[in-house]
Amino acid sequence: MTVSDGAVVGLTKVVDHGPASVRWNLVLMGDGFRASELPTFHADVSGFIARLQSNDPFSTVWSAINIYRIDVRSTDSGARDPIACGGTGATPKTYFDASFCNGNIRRLLTVNNNTALTTASAEVPEVHMAMVIVNSSEYGGSGGAVAVFSRDPQAAEIGLHEMGHTAFGFADEYEYYQGCNSGEAGHDHYPGAEPAEPNVTANTSHPQLKWRALVAATTNLPTTTSPDCTDCDPRTASPVPAGTVGAFEGARYFHCGLYRPEFICRMRALGNPFCGVCQDVIRRHLAPYMPATV
């Protein structure tokens, strides 16, 4: 299963805000789409772009972004889905070698990053971020050197979440790795130093907080603490008004000892907006690529 299991067949600039040399360039590719299925990939790309443009803060910095679609055909449809993770056992031949079950977690869907990055940069040398949509209805995705997401009904939301990792360096804000009530060990208390990601912290004092400029003087720090460090926080509703920026315990796969900026965020649960801190990071990241104003 290598690049001999398909071919690059076309490049289209689908969002054009100017020369690639002065804009932030996103490249979308597909894996596990046979030639006859490429129209489905085109529709998936259009759907993701519509969701991206309609979400803050992208709606306010949209003119900074160019988007390219690279059509890639694979020999077979789908992605590898190992039985070891409860999958179907499918082993299709695809260009980017998409596979579920990485790290023995079925939802962790990855591709061959080297092949994806090489393909993206060959077609768009000024690429800033590469994403791969995988032709599978099974829920899955990942964010790393390349963002990956499946064609699950929540596909566009998965894509936005994984984009947060790959393009902007966000950490996951949920407090489990395998899942709540999974019995996983080693995720009760965070043992390390201050994490590098801009949306999680081990600090709860205002002067040391990464996002202190967004925290009101009347907001308690920490804003919430986990009631049981052996499992996920069972609260589903915020105890403070929506949009409050503070320090909410439970983040980056740990029940206790790490804090996130808001009670809820797209980096914690799909279908929610990016929190104020994440939005601020995205705006600052894309601001240099905005057209000059007169």
Tokens of residue 181, six digits: 């009530």
| pLDDT value of position 183 | 82
- Render pLDDT for 230-270 as a digit per residue (tens, 0 to 9): 999 999 999 999 999 999 999 999 999 999 999 999 999 99
294 pLDDT more than 60: no
> Which sign, positive or negative, has the C-alpha torsion 210, 169, 108, 245?
positive
Q: Is residue 64 predicted with pLDDT exceeding 70?
A: yes
The pLDDT assigned to 4 comes to 85
- Sequence spans of domains, the chain: 3-168, 170-294
For 74-106, letters b (16+ CB in 10 Å) and e give bbbbbbbbbeeeebeebebbbbbbbbbbbeeeb
pLDDT in tens, 274-291: 999 999 999 999 999 999
Please give the average per-residue pLDDT across 40-67, as a whole number: 97
Query: 3-168 has which fold?
Result: Collagenase (Catalytic Domain) (3.40.390)
Specify burial of residue 36 (Cβ count, 10 A radius: 0-12, 13-18, 19+).
Answer: exposed
Contacts of 127 (CB under 8 A, 6+ apart): 25, 26, 27, 68, 120, 121
Using only C-alpha atoms, the chain has a radius of gyration, in whole angstroms, of 20
pLDDT above 70 for 2: no
pLDDT at 1 over 60: no
The model's pLDDT over 73-128, given as tens digits with 9 standing for 90+, comes to 999 999 999 999 999 999 999 999 999 999 999 999 999 999 999 999 999 999 99
pLDDT average, residue stretch 118-141: 98
Quick check: 43 pLDDT over 60? yes
| pLDDT band at residue 24 under the 50/70/90 scheme | very high
| % of the chain beyond a pLDDT of 90 | 92
- Cβ–Cβ under 8 Å, residues 115 and 91: no
Q: Mean pLDDT for the chain?
A: 95
The pLDDT of 218-224, averaged and rounded, is 97
